[in-house]
Amino acid sequence: MSYLLHIDASSLSEASVSGKVAKSFRAEWQGPVVHRDLAVSPVPHLSAAGISARSTEPAQRTPEQAEAATLQDELIDEFLGASAYLFTVPLYNLSMPSVFKAWLDQIMVDGRTLDFANAAPTTGRPAVVISARGGGYGPGAPNEGRDHLVPTLETILGWSHTLGLDVTTVTPELTMAPVIPAMAGLLPLHEASLAEAHAQARQLAKDIDQQAA
């Protein structure tokens, strides 16, 4: 069965702006969804056992390697089984939440999700990254060039030598404007950015659904 895989890396649960925009996407999505909430159920960081298990025959693995391999197999099978992807990855301290990096490290395996000689098995599949951020990082903004999340994810998820996904990014900005007095003057810009993000998310869900039909 094909499905949308939603990987959620926000720590804020219902208060997450990234999560609220993702709900707009999900509201328009017509097919089944597999949702993995990394804040509720984080995956462990990649260990020596997890790395060595990849090159060790199953019958020769230690108990630690076997446990690590079982987790990797579960995550990789879940990833490969999807036909489309939704990643809720807010900007934390100029980069990605550590739980999302842990998930990436577990699923990026040569011969499974990566193929350095040929196209990855997920090449061309649509993916949407929703990444809210407290300030402004676009052209001309004071923080321009300090977003070390979106460029990184667009490379990891979309580069032909890695996962090869067809990535579109949605970035609601200035999310701290409603709560930080010094940013009150930016509230209209935040509201416009948020409205645009919700509209973009809804349209992307419709477009990807139509492509899959």
Higher pLDDT, 115 or 199: 199
- For residues 139-158, average pLDDT: 94
The Cβ of residue 108 has, within 10 Å, a number of other Cβ atoms equal to 18
User: Can you give the pLDDT at residue 142?
Assistant: 87
String of DSSP letters for 87-115:
EE---BTTB--HHHHHHHHHH--BTTTB-
Question: Is residue 116 predicted with pLDDT exceeding 90?
Answer: no
User: Can you give the pLDDT at residue 1?
Assistant: 54
Spatial CB neighbours of 82, under 8 Å, sequence gap ≥ 6: 2, 3, 4, 5, 34, 125
- Give the model confidence (pLDDT) of 58-99 as tens digits: 999 999 999 999 999 999 999 999 999 999 999 999 999 999
Edge-first strand order for the sheet with 84-88 is 33-37, 4-8, 84-88, 126-130, 166-170
- For residues 162-177, average pLDDT: 97
**Domain of 199?**
4-212
| pTM for the structure as a whole | 0.95
Q: What CATH number does residue 20 fall under?
A: 3.40.50.360
- For residues 166-185, average pLDDT: 96
- For residues 93-118, average pLDDT: 95
Number of domains in the chain: 1
Question: Is residue 50 predicted with pLDDT exceeding 60?
Answer: yes
Helix, strand or coil, per DSSP, at residue 34: strand
Residue 160 carries which side chain, given as an amino acid letter? S
- For residues 138-147, average pLDDT: 91
User: Can you give the pLDDT at residue 211?
Assistant: 82
